[in-house]
A and B are shown apart, each in its own frame.
Chain A
């Protein structure tokens, strides 16, 4: 079975405790499509076995569907399933309830093997009200056949307006072909807690645990881990809620799915990209994180705020992004390579200091968790729009290292590499993540933190007086830096053009030479990079180049097309500055090369767009300039990740020459 696990059970549609009328478009009796079906003892629902499924929890903001999804994902991962989660985040803290703007939740895609992206439309959704579902409909998250468990509390709401819109929505959902099962979530929760708005979410987890045959003991454990801090009463109440949801589903839901787990030998961890980055920061031995809150980067610092001190680290919440990077550079100058975290608008503010870091050669890790731009743009939504800003985010020539992780595991490991590169090359290193990686959870092999990952203690030995503070190696541009406290190393760091003694020098020769040496560091690093690996055959009709979080969806699309006999491959870049070597040779072996990205580009057929004036997507722009290959692009700015099927469709058209 492929992407769409079809509902193949005769599903008694239950509303409250009574069986309700099937609705228009409910093709409930869909014969099993030939896949393996475990038959439980008679009387119990048949279990449909699927390779993967997409599950969503959606509620009004504040009702906890996000944590329900996280818990469902964690439990699935712990049972050995591949998992990818996508957070559905409202832009406001308390948007009006029962509106599209209020939609908050989590999508969990679970698979037999590793899962690298959010997949296609949802197979199963638990919705706390009908209105938030409209936001998911707008995002194209549902399809005819999606099974929706919907809280039926609204059918009996004292407000006739609400009753009416609920009834209308049910009608509408039916006509869209969704399979709706009304469930008495609110009523059931009310038996356990006085305010079901705080508690429905665990009931919902219990419900889907029954549907997906997850281990309830693990849920009990997760509840303890999540609520333990709040005390016994809270833990017990949440356990009771999950148990109630589970038992209700056993009695009243006639559908069961199982996504078989393929146990892996390695010990695994599961977390989201921002948590992985925070852990990577700790494992890199970084001691200072200097930041100003901005979505979707902030949660890295939330994690650190609780855990960093145990590893000897400190989070500085500065008065603004300029101060955040200034503080970081102060710490760097004093010998502690720090990290500063931000997103697009904050990157804009940091640019002047980034130039100083390049000019004065101060090591620094800059994490940019991209969101939609320009300006405040789409604060909670994904985009890959800051690549060129990262590369050129500073007036003048400001060469710096730019890397982009493509998975949650890389979010962790790149932090260690970034710190090491920053120090070796005495330069800022930017790590570009995005809102999709930031909140997406995925299991990866448990890293064994090693001593050599940690930053060495600050060198306070005596500096050799004869060695200048910028004793550039003419071959590599690399130099060692004195750190305050090192006797005889005294120098005055300056953002003005300076010679190897850090003396201000305005002459043409010095300016040319020092600019060259700074650039040479990138050339040196590039020499040590391996050419990227091609995913698929090393030659063919079409090569898709991508970067960052789109890799998973691109590779899944490539898998699909290759299964269909198409001659396509893909390639993912992790180093954007310097660019990984060997691209021209790789590109030459394909008839067409194009990028797929989550940022803006003109379509060639847009009005007034001619070839010379067409604005390409950001990686395409870069590759065209770097390789002189006619790299084409397809990119969009939907604010949500690209799905494999969408990419497949685009590539298929491209292969047909459309």
Chain B
């Protein structure tokens, strides 16, 4: 086009992304590992929401689950054991234009990273946090995790875990500013996907605990839920996780839970006779630290310069 620079020309057509656009590398998880399902759901979500790959960041800690960013063709940050949440918060702080996903494990989040977990939920910065909870340390080869059930044998507790499992849901529900708390299972792709989608669309930090199978180290841990879905309690509500027919057909054991009723949520989350899945809490109005941290974004160099100079001049002799 005469008179116009090449790069001025708008894109001839809008970019369209297919699943392959979010695929990268060959996952190195054991066959049957629940992490595959989460990866698949995340890619599908990115495709369905047409997330710009360059505007998407997947942050993780260290663990089997934390390898996930390597398999998504977006930006990724595979950092330190236990520390993905501060990193994700720092990314979010000054970049409201990015989609931030966090992948963390039960050791990563509920042991070494516990402090950050509490505070990230309190900050309530917009991001989707996926806790891939296999109730065991996978990468380091079967040590007890905080979510390992009492009596379950591991390499660090061959005679069985000595204490009852810590419940990540009741902990999260108890944190000031918790704004989205859900639970799902890796073996029901429809529910998993629906949960992640709601989480992604939530204006704040969405905390999703995904019960994840580790066939390599704990092949028996989730069997009774899979074999007999009546051990799972599906939480339903018009404002909850939408359940399609496939989901409804599998999970017959249901209860309605209003996601604005925190007391009821805590009660359900604490249940040990069944595994409750669905949405426990949704509060789009909760305070958000990322709205505070973004102040002054995009300020002009002139203004910054003037402010710095004025600050210096307060010390003039």
Contacts and interface: CB of A to CB of B under 8 A. Distances in A.
Interface of A: 77-78, 80, 267-271, 275, 279, 282-283, 285, 287-288, 290, 307, 309-314, 316, 318-320, 322-324, 326-336, 338, 352-353, 356, 443, 446-451, 454, 484-496, 503-504
Contact of A485 (B85, B93, B97, B312): B97
A269 B315 contact: yes
Interface string B281-309: 00000000000111111110101110111
A327 B89 contact: yes
Contacts of B234: none
Given A279-B308, A314-B93, A491 B76 contact: yes
B74 interface: yes
A492 B69 contact: yes
A490 B293 contact: no
Contacts of A449: 305, 308-309, 312
Contacts of A288: 90, 93-94
A353 B79 CA distance: 9
Nearest to B83: A326
A275 B296 contact: no
Contacts of A279: 308, 311-312, 315
B115 A320 contact: yes
Which of B94, B293, B294, B301 has the most chain A CB within a 10 Å cutoff? B94
B86 interface: yes
Nearest to B70: A492
Which of B53, B115, B317 has the most chain A CB within a 10 Å cutoff? B317
A272 to B, nearest CB: 10
A454 B91 CA distance: 20
B77 interface: yes
28 contacts: A80-B317, A275-B315, A279-B311, A283-B312, A307-B311, A309-B296, A311-B308, A312-B298, A312-B304, A313-B296, A314-B94, A318-B119, A324-B86, A326-B86, A327-B90, A327-B93, A329-B87, A330-B87, A331-B94, A333-B90, A338-B90, A353-B80, A450-B305, A454-B301, A484-B91, A485-B95, A493-B78, A494-B79
A146 B172 CA distance: 62
A42 B119 CA distance: 71
B299 A492 contact: no
A318 B312 contact: no
Given A311-B308, A314-B293, A326 B93 contact: no
B115 A323 contact: yes
B55 A485 contact: yes
B114 to A, nearest CB: 10
Contacts of B93: 288, 314, 316, 327, 330-331
B310 interface: yes
B297 A312 contact: yes
A492 B75 contact: yes
Nearest to B74: A490
Contacts of A447: 312
Contacts of B1: none
B317 A443 contact: yes
Nearest to A264: B317
B79 A326 contact: yes
A498 to B, nearest CB: 10
**Top 8 closest pairs, chain A to chain B, by CB:** A330-B90, A326-B86, A312-B299, A492-B76, A312-B296, A327-B90, A311-B307, A310-B307
A333 B84 CA distance: 13
Given A275-B315, A356-B80, A490-B73, A334 B91 contact: yes
Given A326-B116, A331-B93, A449-B308, 12 more contacts: A270-B317, A279-B311, A310-B310, A311-B296, A314-B292, A314-B295, A319-B115, A334-B90, A336-B94, A447-B312, A450-B305, A494-B70
Contact of B75 (A283, A324, A484): A484
Contacts of A319: 115-116, 118-119
Contact of B90 (A270, A329, A495, A503): A329
B316 interface: yes
Contacts of A493: 76-79
Contacts of B185: none
B95 to A, nearest CB: 5
A327 B89 CA distance: 6
Contacts of B181: none
Contacts of A443: 317
Contacts of A490: 53-54, 73-76
A283 B115 CA distance: 33
Nearest to B118: A319
Contacts of B312: 269, 279, 283, 446-447, 449
Contact of A495 (B75, B79, B307, B316): B79
A322 B296 CA distance: 25
A523 B13 CA distance: 48
Given A270-B317, A331-B90, A282 B54 contact: no
B38 interface: no
Given A328-B90, A331-B93, A454-B305, A484 B54 contact: yes
Chain B: number of interface residues, binned into ranges: 35 or more
B79 to A, nearest CB: 6
Contact of A282 (B52, B94, B308): B308
Nearest to B15: A487
Which of A267, A336, A443, A484 has the most chain B CB within a 10 Å cutoff? A484
A15 B168 CA distance: 70
B233 interface: no
A330 B78 contact: no
A437 B310 CA distance: 23
B35 to A, nearest CB: 16
B57 interface: yes
Contacts of B70: 492, 494, 504
Contact of B311 (A282, A314, A335, A338): A282
A142 to B, nearest CB: 30
B73 A326 contact: no
B295 A486 contact: no
A492 B59 CA distance: 9
Interface string B37-73: 0000000000000001111011100000000011001
A80 B317 CA distance: 8
A486 B52 CA distance: 10
Contacts of A454: 301, 304-305
Interface string B16-33: 000000001100000000
A452 to B, nearest CB: 10
A353 B295 contact: no
Given A334-B90, A334-B98, A269 B316 contact: yes
Nearest to B97: A485
Contacts of A316: 90, 93, 293
Interface in B86-123: 86-95, 97-98, 115-116, 118-119
A329 B93 CA distance: 11
A326 B87 contact: yes
A316 B86 CA distance: 11
A78 B91 contact: no
A314 to B, nearest CB: 5
Given A78-B317, A353-B83, A489 B54 contact: yes
B86 A322 contact: yes
A447 B315 CA distance: 11
B27 to A, nearest CB: 13
A493 B76 CA distance: 6
A90 B76 CA distance: 46
B77 A333 contact: yes
Nearest to B73: A490
Which of B69, B88, B89 has the most chain A CB within a 10 Å cutoff? B89
A393 to B, nearest CB: 15
Contacts of A77: 317
A323 B119 contact: yes
A446 B312 CA distance: 8
Which of B93, B115, B299, B308 has the most chain A CB within a 10 Å cutoff? B308
Nearest to B98: A484
Nearest to B88: A330
B317 A268 contact: yes
